[in-house]
A and B are shown apart, each in its own frame.
Chain A
Amino acid sequence: MIRDLHNKLINQAITSEKLTEEYFAKIEEKDPEIKAYLSLNKEFALDKARAVDRKIKRGEEIGLLAGIPCAIKDNICVENLPTTAGSKILENYIAPYDATVIKKLKKEEAVFLGKTNLDEFAMGSSTENSAYQLTRNPHDATRVPGGSSGGSAAAVAAGECVWALGSDTGGSIRQPASFCGTVGLKPTYGLVSRYGLIAMASSLDQIGPITQTVEDAAIVLTRIAGADRNDATAMKSAETVYENCLSGEIKDLRIGLPKEYFEGEGLDSKVKEIIERAAQKYEKLGAKLVDINLPSSEYALATYYIIMPCEVSSNLARFDGIRFGKSIEKEIESEKNLVLKEIYFKSRARYLGKEVKRRIMLGTYALSAGYYDQYYKKAQKVRALIKKEFKETFKKVDIILGPTAPTSAFRIGEKTQNPLEMYLSDVYTVTANIAGLPAISIPAGSVKIEDRNLPVGLQLMGKWFDEEKLLNAAYSFEAGK
Chain B
Amino acid sequence: MLSKSEVQKIAQLARIEITDKEAEKYSTELSAILGFVEKLNEANTEGIEPIAPARLATRSVSGGHITGAKNVTREDKVIEASSETKDKIIKNFPEKKDRFDKVKAVF
Contact = CB atoms under 8 A, between A and B. Distances in A.
A382 interface: yes
Contacts of A188: 67
Given A344-B15, A357-B16, A381-B49, A364 B33 contact: no
B78 interface: no
Given A94-B92, A322-B101, A361-B10, A345 B29 contact: no
Contacts of A449: none
A344 B17 CA distance: 9
A362 B30 contact: yes
A419 B101 CA distance: 37
Nearest to A382: B43
Interface in B1-18: 2, 7, 10-11, 13-18
A377 B40 CA distance: 11
A322 B16 contact: no
A323 B29 contact: no
A96 B95 contact: no
A231 to B, nearest CB: 9
Interface in A57-97: 79-80, 93-94, 96-97
A26 interface: no
Contact-residue size bin, chain A (C-beta under 8 Å from the other chain): 35 or more
A97 B92 CA distance: 12
Contact of B15 (A298, A320, A365, A464): A320
Contact-residue size bin, chain B (C-beta under 8 Å from the other chain): 35 or more
Interface in A316-370: 317, 320-327, 329-330, 338-346, 348-349, 352, 357-358, 360-362, 364-365, 368
Interface stretch (A27-35, A111-119, A302-310): A302-310
Interface stretch (A253-261, A383-391, A473-481): A383-391
Given A94-B92, A96-B89, A299-B40, A380 B15 contact: no
Interface of B: 2, 7, 10-11, 13-18, 26, 29-30, 32-34, 36-43, 45, 48-55, 57-58, 63, 65-69, 72-74, 85, 88-89, 91-95, 101, 103-107
21 contacts: A94-B92, A203-B66, A232-B74, A235-B67, A299-B43, A305-B36, A317-B15, A324-B89, A327-B94, A339-B107, A340-B105, A357-B14, A358-B30, A361-B14, A380-B63, A381-B48, A385-B48, A419-B32, A420-B32, A423-B36, A465-B67
Given A381-B48, A384-B63, 19 more contacts: A79-B88, A96-B88, A189-B66, A189-B67, A190-B66, A232-B57, A232-B72, A305-B36, A358-B29, A360-B16, A361-B16, A365-B10, A368-B13, A378-B40, A378-B41, A380-B53, A384-B45, A423-B33, A465-B67
